[in-house]
Chain A
């Protein structure tokens, strides 16, 4: 009964999403307040029904109702409660429902936090979001009904894929989805602006905090996913350039470009046309990511579906969204011209350069991800594009991005003097090259990559310090605390996020240059050495989890005769699917991780053990965290709220004037 209620609620949500899509759009066109006012309650009602529907599905999982096919294939009565709940989205149908729910959550957030928007603009934003929502809910209902019954019901479930039974999987998908779907808000704002023909600084200011928050979610989601892959897949890598990772990385790159382009549009009125295109592009790439991940064209741990009908549906959705928005863009392009002019050497130029490079980077990922699929689809042979390609492309593309990133904040808007700017950044630059070369020699790993990475990272850190000091000196005479307070939250956001890039580069460079790896056969009592650490194998014991049996290795980690830790990597066998899985064990430190995983047991009782030494790897995620934190600061800037209050006052004034 409860699953049917959930199904019914989802149908109601679809009806409401159609209402939300059509009525306010018509209202905005006809300038009818009554019609426009329908958007808000429709969006909120839709959220209620999706939430209810989602709760019903979760209920089926929690109570192990295996007459629901989805629960029977993705849960098990012995699965821990937490993984019963997360199992709801650990499959194609449920994850679509999560997608629709996050979209609805974003929409409701817009209705709550953007009350100050002009009615017609708000109506159009809600209309566009309603259209997207209708597309996805109908997709779910038509091709992937999560409430499908199984007749007769199964006695026991087949359990969730063991790889997904992990704490990282509790937060990775919701974060990532909030990020993906969040770009639909930026998209809706851009389309609404195109429809109204009003693409000015105000539009950019309205759109900015939403874009930034979506970007924060996406950054955090990608970071958590990368961390999960690192400790869960058991071979110590943190990024594999897997098509599914690329699917989330492409919108991130374009979203980063969009954030910066919006800044120019807000401050200087320039780049309007470009900003709109980026908003359309970022959301299209989010949809493409969903298509790649959910259509089954890629086989990976993420690909649940292999039904071609589903792939076609998303592809059709994608074509409609891109086609319609580009058509609208072409029709309104004449209104997008103009904006503030700027000189050759200016902050605008630096940001434009970064935008171009980030877009090319995004396109290069798109090429590497899609080209093999095209060849395969056209039966022209099978190829794969691996990490070497992406590394060959990303180092040269991202190096100028970082250089421009360090230049930009020192440049003035509109026009600046190149010589003066170079003079400003030169000392830090020279010091960084010296530091980079020095450290490379100190760690005895002198390759151009190491020197480049370390120098860039040192430059980011030094330039950040210089920027902060310069900013504090601006108000000479004021007290230290008032100087600090004079810095806006959005400036701190920029500063933190850029510093995060530096920290990230340190992590990537160090782990890329200095990591050590050893596969070794170990018998009880045997020892191995790696990077100054001693590993003693104390044998393996049998252990049991809630829904698996395991062999748990006991590996004593020591350095210079001092025992540091007892590492317990596991080889698990999950009952329901009879699926073996490796669970690595880590000794985590601020400057290095020691990582151990069990291979297989040989006939003579010895085990194959993989030992890894990963210097500075946690800095990769610390860097991402700083970036996300920077985004939070930027979005929380008091300016947005102050201007919102002003917009609201203007709007209510307009309403009073209209009714008088």
Chain B
């Protein structure tokens, strides 16, 4: 093989490898994006059906209840305008409390959000930004309505 055609093959092979890898990355990226919705958007039916997404907001006061097995928890997430009921099986984060911000990830089934993951704050000073965002949006919407 001549040096030139060798080099061509090397470059061609490298480029093909690169294109394959990039295609793989982008398709995996497309398939695994998790979108975020506020409780108001979920209530309006804007959330995807049968697909994993996230909701952020406050854990509604007095909403936490446990089933008899002790491990399944029901609570509600609110952005102060709309309330979405959530069920979750597992241990809750240390800083998960009523009246505090939280983000849940999971799927919506028959109007109830089946959470596979519950996230709360890492320490007392922070609120998950998604939760803060949801409440802020709902309050802005309320303001525009009352004007």
Residues of A within 8 A of B (CB): 161, 163, 234-235, 299-301, 341, 343-344, 349, 352-353, 356-357, 360, 363-364, 367-368, 371, 381-386, 388-389, 392-393, 396-397, 519-521, 577-582, 597, 599-600, 602, 606, 608, 610
Which of A301, A397, A600 is in CB contact (< 8 Å) with B92?
Answer: A600
A264 to nearest B CB, angstroms?
Answer: 14
Collect the chain A residues with CB atoms within 8 Å of residue B123's CB.
Answer: 161, 163, 301, 577, 579
Report the separation of the CA atoms of residues A600 and B31 in the bound assembly, to the nearest whole angstrom: 36
Q: Is the interface of A mostly helix, strand, loop or mixed?
A: mixed
Collect the chain A residues with CB atoms within 8 Å of residue B105's CB.
Answer: 384, 386
Collect the chain A residues with CB atoms within 8 Å of residue B90's CB.
Answer: 519, 610
CB–CB B71/A580 < 8 A: no
Q: Given contacts A360-B25, A384-B54, A397-B21, is CB(A579)–CB(B36) below 8 Å?
A: no
Report the separation of the CA atoms of residues A533 and B130 in the bound assembly, to the nearest whole angstrom: 40
CB–CB A579/B124 < 8 A: yes
Which of B18, B94, B95, B128 is in CB contact (< 8 Å) with A299?
Answer: B128
The tally of residues in B whose CB lies under 8 Å from a CB in A reads: 40
For the complex, is B100 an interface residue (Cβ under 8 Å from A)? no
**B69-114 with Cβ < 8 A to chain A:** 69-71, 89-92, 94-95, 105
Report the separation of the CA atoms of residues A22 and B35 in the bound assembly, to the nearest whole angstrom: 49
Report the separation of the CA atoms of residues A301 and B69 in the bound assembly, to the nearest whole angstrom: 32
B3 to nearest A CB, angstroms?
Answer: 7
**B7-59 with Cβ < 8 A to chain A:** 9-10, 14, 17-18, 21-22, 24-25, 28-29, 31-36, 54
Report the nearest B residue to A607, measured CB to CB.
B70
Collect the chain B residues with CB atoms within 8 Å of residue A578's CB.
Answer: 124
CB–CB A519/B91 < 8 A: yes
Among B25, B29, B69, find the residue whose CB has the most chain A CB atoms closer than 10 A. Answer: B25
CB–CB A386/B21 < 8 A: no
Collect the chain B residues with CB atoms within 8 Å of residue A300's CB.
Answer: 122
Besides the contacts A343-B6, A344-B1, what 19 more A-B pairs have beta carbons closer than 8 Å?
Answer: A163-B123, A234-B94, A356-B21, A360-B25, A364-B25, A384-B33, A384-B54, A385-B33, A386-B32, A389-B29, A389-B32, A393-B28, A519-B71, A519-B90, A519-B91, A577-B123, A579-B95, A600-B91, A610-B91
Collect the chain A residues with CB atoms within 8 Å of residue B92's CB.
Answer: 599-600
CB–CB B35/A381 < 8 A: yes
Report the separation of the CA atoms of residues A613 and B39 in the bound assembly, to the nearest whole angstrom: 36
CB–CB A597/B91 < 8 A: yes
Report the separation of the CA atoms of residues A606 and B35 in the bound assembly, to the nearest whole angstrom: 37
Report the nearest B residue to A368, measured CB to CB.
B29
